[in-house]
Amino acid sequence: MNWKPKLTSRPEEPADIEALDPALKQALGDFKASVRGWSDAACNRQRMAQSLVVRRSWRLAAGWSLAAVLLAGTVSGGFYEHHKLVIAAQIAAAQKAEQERQAAAQRARAEAQQEEDILASVDKDISREVPSAMEPLAQLDDEGESR
């Protein structure tokens, strides 16, 4: 069994084309000639070559520019956030150092006050005892001056 179709360039003509009416035969022949003439004229005519210039270069440039601007904005936004964090950390460190300095100064004042209180109480305690213990010597000295 062979299933290959016959390849022909034009349809088969009826076998009894001679039997057709001569007027119809003439009309069909004229139609066929006019179609072939029109087809030949359409194929052989001069054509203007149309150049299809695609003017998308500005779109491409605009797209790349927009992408570059977005990328630069994203990167600069990241740098800005990092800079804000660094500045905030520096401010916090300065505040902490100031608080520690103030706390150390307050502790030093408290210690100095405590030392002064201790020394005053010691001086008070000692000054009371020493003159009473040295009172006899002081009286002797007073007697020696009067002679």
pTM of the full structure: 0.39
pLDDT digits over 24-83, tens only?
888 888 999 999 999 998 888 887 777 776 677 788 888 999 999 999 999 999 999 999
Contact 46/38 with Cβ under 8 angstroms? no
Does residue 99 belong to any structural domain of this protein? Answer: yes
Residue 105 lies in a domain: yes
Cα(69)–Cα(64) distance, integer angstroms: 9
Phi-psi domain of 25 (left: phi exceeds 0; alpha: psi -120 through 50; beta: other): alpha
Residue 112 in any domain: the answer is yes
Domain enclosing residue 109, as ranges: 93-125
Whole-number Å distance between alpha carbons of 60 and 37: 47
In a domain, 140, yes or no: no
Number of structural domains (the chain) is 1
| Residue 106 resides in a domain | yes
Map residue 145 onto helix, strand or coil. Answer: helix
Q: Is the per-residue pLDDT at 125 higher than 90?
A: no
Residue 103 lies in a domain: yes
Mean pLDDT for all residues in the chain: 82
Both tokens of 80, joined, read 């800005």
Whether 121 is in a domain gets the answer yes
Does 114 fall in a domain? yes
